[in-house]
Amino acid sequence: MGKKYIVIGASSGIGYAIAEKLLLEGNHVALLARRDKILKSFADRFNQDGKQLALTIKYDSNHFDKSGTVFKRILKEFNQELDGIIYASGIMPKIEPDEFDTEKDLNMMNTNLLGAIAFINPAASYFQEKGSGFIAGISSVAGDRGRRGNPVYNTSKGGLNIYLEALRNRLAVKGVQVVTIKPGFVATEMLKDAQVPDKGFLKPISAENAADIILKNIAKGKEEFYVPARWGLVMMIIRNIPSFIFRKLNI
């Protein structure tokens, strides 16, 4: 008998790959994102021969006031049963080195951080009551330090790390697993215009590979991890570079 999950940001990239793996294992998955046509054709692959594994909901993470209602609707469809949620929605618009654009910045904060809080809060309340389940948020290596390239992307992911850590400290005693996922480079739409190494240690991994690592680590009960693990070493070095040196480096 399959389990029941929600993936927010399931229309492409890492969220899509995670949802696909969960569906292929025979689980029920609620697929959320704005591009609902993509979600519908994705779901069609898993809703045939009398099976209805995928539920699709057109959802904009920036519409915070809708999160509670949407969460309740999914619970109703799932007969009040839920085993885990993964918040994968995220944006990283291109920011020029001398650009300070409040509209772009607030949009990033809304999708990457405030939208996560708005959706995870009702889920936290549900899992606290249930005494089991997991809440996973896709953060980033970018949340480990304030870099010059995209200050508010760093801020949104750093804020997400702290929020998830605080939630973990609250909910661990209730039997709920709260997971902070920190990917390095993953070859998705988000990176299509970014300059990333095409070979070597930091070469992007595929979304399918990232999803595999993420789901295996969650199943092992891990609470915070880099994807792939080698980024843990890279970020340990980066976190320990003194500020007066770090500001001179073009990273």
Ligand X SMILES: NC(=O)c1ccc[n+]([C@@H]2O[C@H](COP(=O)([O-])OP(=O)(O)OC[C@H]3O[C@@H](n4cnc5c(N)ncnc54)[C@H](OP(=O)(O)O)[C@@H]3O)[C@@H](O)[C@H]2O)c1
Interacting residue ranges for ligand X, rule: CB under 6 A: 9-15, 33-35, 59-62, 88-92, 111, 138, 140, 183, 185-186, 188-191
Q: What secondary structure does DSSP assign to 36-49, as a single string?
A: HHHHHHHHHTTS-T
> Between residues 10 and 152, which has the closer beta carbon with respect to ligand X?
10
> Between residues 11 and 27, which has the closer beta carbon with respect to ligand X?
11
Min dist CB 123 to ligand X, Å, is 15
Interatomic CA distance for residues 100 and 161, integer angstroms: 24
Min dist CB 241 to ligand X, Å, is 20
Count of CB atoms situated within 10 Å of the CB of 218: 19
Min dist CB 248 to ligand X, Å, is 25
> Between residues 75 and 92, which has the closer beta carbon with respect to ligand X?
92
In the chain, beta strands by DSSP E: 4-8, 28-33, 54-58, 84-87, 134-138, 177-183, 186-187, 205-206, 224-227
> Between residues 208 and 223, which has the closer beta carbon with respect to ligand X?
208
Min dist CB 226 to ligand X, Å, is 10
Interatomic CA distance for residues 68 and 103, integer angstroms: 26
Instruction: Find the radius of gyration of the CA atoms of the chain.
Output: 18
